[in-house]
Chain A
Amino acid sequence: MIPVSWILFLSLSLFSIGIFGVLARRNLLFILISLELMLNAVVILFIAGSRYHSSSIANSDGQIMYLLVLTLAASEIAVGLSLVISMYRQHHHLDIDKLNKLRD
């Protein structure tokens, strides 16, 4: 069996990559993708947790949580993508450094 610390490490790496993507990328589309990465990192943590805390395979709380998060992510990305598309139609680019009109 894979030691739990490896999975934690994987999750942490994924999460950091996601954070790096959110902070470093300028394109709104890539920020959304990075957010998905971070969600997945968290979900892996859930599954690893449920596996670690139960002796038998019968505990499937983590997997259920994974399905829930997947659904949420799907709906979230649907809304997000539609916003991104409408924004692209208006501004013809997706550079968030230039999309700072909210301030004024």
Chain B
Amino acid sequence: MTNYSNLLSLIPLLPILSAVILLFSNPSRLWVSILAVGSITSVALISSFLNYVYWQQTDFILKASLGNWISIAELSISFGLYLDSLSLVMITIISGVGALIHLYSTGFMSQDKSFKRYFIYLNLFVSAMLFLVLADNLLLLYLGWEGVGLCSYLLIGFWYQDKNNNLAANKAFLMTRIGDTAMAIGLFLLFTHLGTLDIQEIQVKAHTVWSLSDNTIASICCLLLLGGAVGKSAQFPLQNWLPDAMAGPTPVSALIHAATMVTAGIYLIARNSQLFQLAPDVLYVIALIGTFTLLLGASAAMVQSDLKRILAYSTISQLGYMFLALGVGASASAVFHLMTHAFFKALLFLSAGALIYSLHHEHNIFKMGGLFKKLPVVTVSFAIGCSALASLPFTSGFFSKELILEQVVASGHITLWWAAVLGAFITAFYSARLFFIVFLGQAQLSPDTTPTKSMSLALIILCLFSLLGGVQPSGLISLMPPLHADNLTNLQHWLPIILPFIAISFAWWIFKKSQFGRTHTSLLQGIHQLLKSGWAFDHIYQTIFIQPFKYLCQLNQYDVIDLFYRFIEKVSCILNNTFSQFQNGQLRSYNASLVIFCILAFAWFISGELIK
């Protein structure tokens, strides 16, 4: 077992080691690629080996420690790693998809000047995420959490010469920061009440300290943790940083959307699912947030014209499905959907990247068209990615999304089920729309470069995963038992299967009449604009938060509090000036003032006597 522990501690250390080596040396591009890709690939190999060892075992736990971190009185925090079936699934996704994205990046970024910087950030990103999912205490998890936030900031603003990229990076950083602050407060609260930050101990102790009937503080803790998850996973109301985060290089978007960053929130809630069971109200809130976000994301994705923004909104929507699953208590299906989503969203983003790479950074889908003959590999991978996103039968997305819908029915939330089915319809619709517009129809732009070999290789491997990855890891089911769904009606069983086909036919019909990208009435135009801006949340936040804040700043630009102190200062200055006039060194004026004072004093005294 100790050997395996050593292997486990290698997992987060290898990428960070490679980042440090790259930081302090100046190797050639080839060596940068070998080091960066090699470190993540070896992590991927280690995790597949661990998968091989533990695939059949349902309840295994592997622990490792990298030393002590903080040790003060009753607070003792170590760099402890904890591997069970949940974190095993997570590290497999992160390292596997991460390695493919690294491989792909060597081709995509080959022309970039800051090749080395890019891979340092990327390695750090993966390492932080691995720390996050392997942490055995919430503080180490929080360290990874912040590391992920930092790296996403650096990578979104990677092309820092463009001011818009910096603004997008700032937006992502600040909006996730709101959630992070809530989460930090949640950690403090948990520590005060439970006296520990160890994740497993928290799950056990929470059930002894709190109960379902006395769960006020538990609910508050869960809400605060949820705040962190909402920020990182781009859920309502902190969802609008994600579409702007497209400013970074496309493989980075793939990494953020598939393997790292946005999955952190799902992981946090799934990891603490026993704690969240103490707060059914919070779970219901999670389900509501998920449902609202999945509709919001899907409807916004329906009208976008920027290729990457479509994918970004679809990520928001798919994350909404995961939150819905978490909210109805089906954490296992949430993590399962996280896994399949990682495969097909990485595939979609990487093929989008290949498309953009071939078309000279063209993002507008209405300028593309008829590309299926010229870019066969990209077309096939896009087709597979879209069908998995639309959850056509027997793709990976089908199994996980069906499972989530089934679990929602089993939990008894029929309204939420209808909303989720509507979301599935819209999802299939916009995936079909995206595919038709880009690859079929009139050819407009012609690609002049084809994707490099490393890019094609990554795409093909991800295609296989997206098609065949719909196998739920058995360990998850035993760790987080799903609800029993045996009371499905025929409608509930068949509607989600048939619906994607209806949506695709509908999209095909509209496409044939070439109605995409056109609006006729002003009402439709208005709805189109509203949806395109992501339900105008940017605008709302601008009016509610940013403008009042700016107004207050404007008011306070001379420091209102300081005015009082400056007044005191001014008065004493005036007094000083006045009285220093009298001290002029002229003996005769001193004498005169003395005489005047005496005369006045006598006059006052005498007048007082007279009145008496």
CA distance A100 to B377 in the complex (A): 99
Q: Could you say which residues of chain A place their CB within 8 Å of the CB of B592?
A: 23
Q: Is the interface of B mostly helix, strand, loop or mixed?
A: helix
Residues of A within 8 A of B (CB): 19, 22-24, 26, 31, 96-97, 99-104
CB–CB A103/B588 < 8 A:
no
The 7 closest A-B pairs by CB, nearest first: A100-B585, A103-B585, A96-B587, A22-B591, A23-B592, A23-B591, A23-B588
Q: Is B584 an interface residue (CB 8 A)?
A: yes
Shortest Cβ distance from residue B600 to the other chain A in the assembled complex, whole angstroms? 14
What 18 additional pairs, Cβ within 8 angstroms, besides A19-B595, A26-B588, A103-B585?
A23-B588, A23-B591, A23-B592, A23-B595, A24-B588, A96-B586, A96-B587, A96-B588, A97-B586, A97-B588, A99-B587, A100-B584, A100-B587, A101-B585, A102-B585, A103-B583, A103-B584, A104-B585
Chain B window 562-597, contacts with chain A (Cβ cutoff 8 Å), 1 for yes, 0 for no: 000000000000000000000111111001100100
CA distance A23 to B598 in the complex (A): 14
CA distance A100 to B592 in the complex (A): 16
CA distance A104 to B580 in the complex (A): 12
CA distance A46 to B393 in the complex (A): 127
Shortest Cβ distance from residue A81 to the other chain B in the assembled complex, whole angstroms? 17
Closest to A19 in B: B595
Shortest Cβ distance from residue A11 to the other chain B in the assembled complex, whole angstroms? 15
Shortest Cβ distance from residue B291 to the other chain A in the assembled complex, whole angstroms? 82
Residues of B within 8 A of A (CB): 583-588, 591-592, 595
Shortest Cβ distance from residue A62 to the other chain B in the assembled complex, whole angstroms? 22
Q: Could you say which residues of chain A place their CB within 8 Å of the CB of B588?
A: 22-24, 26, 96-97
Closest to B598 in A: A19
CA distance A100 to B588 in the complex (A): 10
Q: Could you say which residues of chain B place their CB within 8 Å of the CB of A24?
A: 588
Q: Could you say which residues of chain A place their CB within 8 Å of the CB of B584?
A: 100, 103
Q: Could you say which residues of chain B place their CB within 8 Å of the CB of A19?
A: 595
CA distance A24 to B592 in the complex (A): 10
Shortest Cβ distance from residue A82 to the other chain B in the assembled complex, whole angstroms? 18
Closest to A26 in B: B588
Q: Could you say which residues of chain B place their CB within 8 Å of the CB of A26?
A: 588
CA distance A23 to B596 in the complex (A): 11
CA distance A2 to B592 in the complex (A): 34
CB–CB B586/A100 < 8 A:
yes
Q: Could you say which residues of chain A place their CB within 8 Å of the CB of B587?
A: 31, 96, 99-100
Closest to B599 in A: A19
CA distance A101 to B587 in the complex (A): 11
CA distance A26 to B587 in the complex (A): 9
Closest to B584 in A: A103
CA distance A23 to B376 in the complex (A): 111
CA distance A100 to B584 in the complex (A): 8
Shortest Cβ distance from residue A6 to the other chain B in the assembled complex, whole angstroms? 21
CA distance A97 to B589 in the complex (A): 10
Closest to A96 in B: B587
Shortest Cβ distance from residue A36 to the other chain B in the assembled complex, whole angstroms? 15
Closest to A22 in B: B591
Q: Could you say which residues of chain A place their CB within 8 Å of the CB of B591?
A: 22-23
Shortest Cβ distance from residue B125 to the other chain A in the assembled complex, whole angstroms? 68
CA distance A104 to B586 in the complex (A): 12
CA distance A19 to B597 in the complex (A): 13
Shortest Cβ distance from residue A18 to the other chain B in the assembled complex, whole angstroms? 11
CA distance A24 to B588 in the complex (A): 8
A-B contact pairs, 26 of them (CB 8 A): A19-B595, A22-B588, A22-B591, A23-B588, A23-B591, A23-B592, A23-B595, A24-B588, A26-B588, A31-B587, A96-B586, A96-B587, A96-B588, A97-B586, A97-B588, A99-B587, A100-B584, A100-B585, A100-B586, A100-B587, A101-B585, A102-B585, A103-B583, A103-B584, A103-B585, A104-B585
Q: Could you say which residues of chain A place their CB within 8 Å of the CB of B583?
A: 103
Closest to A103 in B: B585
Q: Could you say which residues of chain B place their CB within 8 Å of the CB of A100?
A: 584-587
Shortest Cβ distance from residue A27 to the other chain B in the assembled complex, whole angstroms? 11
CA distance A103 to B585 in the complex (A): 5
Q: Could you say which residues of chain A place their CB within 8 Å of the CB of B586?
A: 96-97, 100
Closest to B588 in A: A23
Shortest Cβ distance from residue A30 to the other chain B in the assembled complex, whole angstroms? 12
CA distance A97 to B591 in the complex (A): 13
Q: Could you say which residues of chain A place their CB within 8 Å of the CB of B595?
A: 19, 23
Closest to A20 in B: B595
CA distance A31 to B585 in the complex (A): 16
CA distance A100 to B595 in the complex (A): 20
CA distance A103 to B589 in the complex (A): 13
Shortest Cβ distance from residue B389 to the other chain A in the assembled complex, whole angstroms? 87
CA distance A99 to B585 in the complex (A): 8
CA distance A84 to B584 in the complex (A): 21
CA distance A24 to B583 in the complex (A): 19
Closest to A102 in B: B585
Shortest Cβ distance from residue B590 to the other chain A in the assembled complex, whole angstroms? 10
CA distance A19 to B595 in the complex (A): 8
CA distance A33 to B162 in the complex (A): 88
CA distance A102 to B585 in the complex (A): 6
CA distance A22 to B596 in the complex (A): 13
Shortest Cβ distance from residue A32 to the other chain B in the assembled complex, whole angstroms? 12
Shortest Cβ distance from residue B237 to the other chain A in the assembled complex, whole angstroms? 68
Q: Could you say which residues of chain B place their CB within 8 Å of the CB of A22?
A: 588, 591
Shortest Cβ distance from residue B520 to the other chain A in the assembled complex, whole angstroms? 89
Closest to B580 in A: A103
Shortest Cβ distance from residue B482 to the other chain A in the assembled complex, whole angstroms? 92
Shortest Cβ distance from residue B400 to the other chain A in the assembled complex, whole angstroms? 89
Q: Could you say which residues of chain B place their CB within 8 Å of the CB of A96?
A: 586-588
CA distance A23 to B590 in the complex (A): 9
Closest to B595 in A: A19
Shortest Cβ distance from residue B583 to the other chain A in the assembled complex, whole angstroms? 6
CA distance A14 to B592 in the complex (A): 17
Shortest Cβ distance from residue A97 to the other chain B in the assembled complex, whole angstroms? 6
CA distance A95 to B273 in the complex (A): 96
CA distance A96 to B591 in the complex (A): 12
Q: Could you say which residues of chain B place their CB within 8 Å of the CB of A102?
A: 585
Shortest Cβ distance from residue A56 to the other chain B in the assembled complex, whole angstroms? 31
CA distance A99 to B586 in the complex (A): 8
Q: Could you say which residues of chain A place their CB within 8 Å of the CB of B585?
A: 100-104
